Amino acid sequence: MPIRRCHTVLAALTLGLGLVQQASASTQTAAATPAPPSCEGARHHQFDFWIGDWAVMNGGKQIGANRIVAVENGCAINEHWAGAGGGTGVSYSAYDRKDGKWHQFWVSGTGLVLHLVGAMENGAMVLHGELPAADGNGTTAQRVTWTPRGNGNVRQHWESAKPDGGWQTVFDGLYVRASE
């Protein structure tokens, strides 16, 4: 075989071997790339006790119904509230691994928007936020606490800061699992 043809064959073999090595390295790199984070960790499921279909009670009287479902592969929970008096609202709640906190974004049928942030405290989910003050000057701190009960019920207690520094109840509901 002439030398020129030998060099051409050798160059083609070298190029082919290089492509095979490049493909192999690319496959190894893809395999070594970590999978995106999932929401399988325990912190992502701390609020799962609230998932379900609920009759919401206060003083023995039903004041509304609430449906809370897991969405986005268990990365968030979605709430659909219907008050006995006609009020409605929806929320999304999720654990944010970046700041290590739970976030809830609530919107009512009247346009009330509330962003709450917090964490589990002593076995209860406690989230804090702010709403415009009733007098239109500044904001008022809000605190909403969901406490699971041993019997499967959940208490939701929403409080608003008072000017004197205490808290006043805005909403107090006992979530009882709705009959199937």
Same domain, 67 and 153: yes
Same domain, 21 and 49: no
Q: What is the arithmetic mean of pLDDT over 38-51?
A: 94
Same domain, 84 and 160: yes
Same domain, 79 and 128: yes
Same domain, 53 and 126: yes
Instruction: Tell me: pLDDT of 47 over 50.
Output: yes
pLDDT tens digits, 99-116: 999 999 999 999 999 999
Identity of the residue numbered 9: V
DSSP 45: G
pLDDT tens digits, 52-94: 999 999 999 999 999 999 999 999 999 999 999 999 999 999 9
User: Whole-prediction pTM value?
Assistant: 0.79
Same domain, 13 and 95: no
Tell me the DSSP string of 71-96: ETTTTEEEEEEEETTS-EEEEEEEEE
Check which CATH number belongs to the domain holding 156 and give it. Answer: 2.40.128.20
Same domain, 2 and 90: no
Could you give the CA distance from residue 66 to residue 178 in angstroms, rounded to a whole number? Answer: 9
Same domain, 149 and 68: yes
Structural domain of 22: 1-33
Overall domain count for the chain:
2
Same domain, 54 and 29: no
Q: What is the arithmetic mean of pLDDT over 26-44?
A: 73
pLDDT tens digits, 109-167: 999 999 999 999 999 999 999 998 877 788 999 999 999 998 999 999 999 999 888 99
What are the start-end ranges of the H helices in the chain? 3-32
Same domain, 100 and 18: no
The predicted structure's pLDDT at residue 121: 97
Same domain, 96 and 160: yes
Contacts of 9 (CB under 8 A, 6+ apart): 1
